[in-house]
């Protein structure tokens, strides 16, 4: 179960003045309640963007090139490499990527996609500047449904909000190519998990690489674990030593500033 900093938890800490989240996403906070209690809170934007983008590309390559499936089978049978028709995946270089949420993490995914000579499309609440689009070689698609049928990879990098909760469901998956691969490094709740499992069983899309799921953690017998074209990892996109160190440093700066009543370097605006 994700930890939710709700009324009950806050009531149990009457002296609490400052919260620093060890995450960039802050959907777990009840901002109304923090406002009522005069509690300040901070989060960790930017410091994880490279690690998360690396993880998105790792998942994208793992699923499209069937890396996990092949590694597991090779261990059981060392003769399998002699068969050229085995483990045939899809080429990443030159493919089309659709990034849903071109914020700090999405931009880093786009930077990496350039190295694979990918065509880069993105869908966002707002179009970025002409300069950003030019620098990234990215094309804004205002309507998600215009982007979905074009992409070989749909990478979710958006925050979980009331607007994005469950936004990828049956209709959206059916709008994608049957070979397309869904990568989710945002929040599990952005995808309707039952719809995804159903779409994967029916061959509606080609596979999925998931750092985040709903529920999280998954149950041991969850159907996502049984699908050979799914790579699911336990919400660890930011888990590099360098990133964790940056996260801790920024958290400490936030806490100290918060306790001293100074502006926190990455304070969550609570209106």
Ligand X SMILES: O=C(O)C(=O)CO
Interface residues toward ligand X, by CB under 6 A:
23-25, 48, 52, 237-238
Q: Tell me how long the chain is.
A: 271
Nearer to ligand X (CB atom), residue 45 or residue 258: 45
By beta-carbon proximity to ligand X, the closer residue of 48 and 124 is 48
Q: Angle at which helices 104-115 and 49-64 pack, to 10 degrees?
A: 50
Give the span between the Cα atoms of 114 and 50, in whole angstroms.
15
Least distance to ligand X, CB of residue 101, Å: 12
In angstroms, what is the minimal distance from the CB of 173 to ligand X? 22
Contact of 233 with 183, CB cutoff 8 Å: no
Distance CA 262, CA 265 (A): 9
Report the residue number whose CB is nearest to ligand X.
23
| Smallest distance from ligand X to CB 26, Å | 8
Do residues 34 and 267 make contact, with C-beta atoms less than 8 angstroms apart? Answer: no
Angle (CA) 99-104-106 rounded to 5° is: 15
CB of 111 to ligand X, least distance (A): 18
Kindly tell me which of 44 and 141 has the beta carbon lying closer to ligand X: 44
Residue placing its CB nearer to ligand X in the complex, 63 or 175: 63
Catalytic positions: 235
């Amino acid at each position: 179960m994700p930890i939710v900093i709700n009324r009950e938890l806050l009531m149990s800490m009457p002296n609490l003045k400052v919260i620093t989240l060890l995450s960039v996403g802050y959907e777990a906070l009840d901002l109304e309640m923090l406002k009522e209690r005069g509690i300040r809170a901070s989060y960790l934007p930017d410091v994880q963007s490279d690690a998360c983008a690396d993880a998105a590309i790792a998942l994208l390559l793992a699923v499209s090139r069937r890396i996990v499936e092949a590694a597991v089978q090779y261990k059981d049978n060392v003769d399998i490499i002699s068969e050229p028709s085995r483990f045939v995946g899809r080429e990443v270089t030159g493919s089309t990527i659709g990034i849903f949420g071109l914020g700090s993490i999405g931009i880093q995914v786009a930077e990496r996609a350039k190295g694979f000579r990918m065509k880069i499309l993105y869908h966002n609440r707002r179009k970025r500047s002409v300069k950003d689009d030019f620098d990234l070689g990215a094309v804004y698609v205002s309507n998600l449904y215009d982007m979905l049928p074009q992409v070989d990879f749909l990478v979710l990098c958006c925050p979980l909000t009331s607007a994005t909760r469950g936004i990828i469901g049956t209709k959206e998956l059916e709008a994608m190519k049957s070979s397309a691969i869904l990568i989710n490094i945002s929040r599990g709740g952005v995808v309707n998990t039952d719809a995804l499992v159903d779409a994967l069983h029916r061959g509606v899309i080609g596979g999925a690489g998931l750092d985040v799921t709903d529920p999280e953690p998954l149950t041991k017998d969850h159907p996502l674990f049984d699908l050979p074209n799914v790579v699911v990892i336990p919400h660890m996109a930011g888990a590099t030593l360098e990133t964790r160190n940056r996260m801790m440093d920024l958290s400490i700066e936030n806490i100290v500033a918060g306790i001293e009543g100074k502006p926190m370097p990455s304070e969550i605006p609570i209106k």
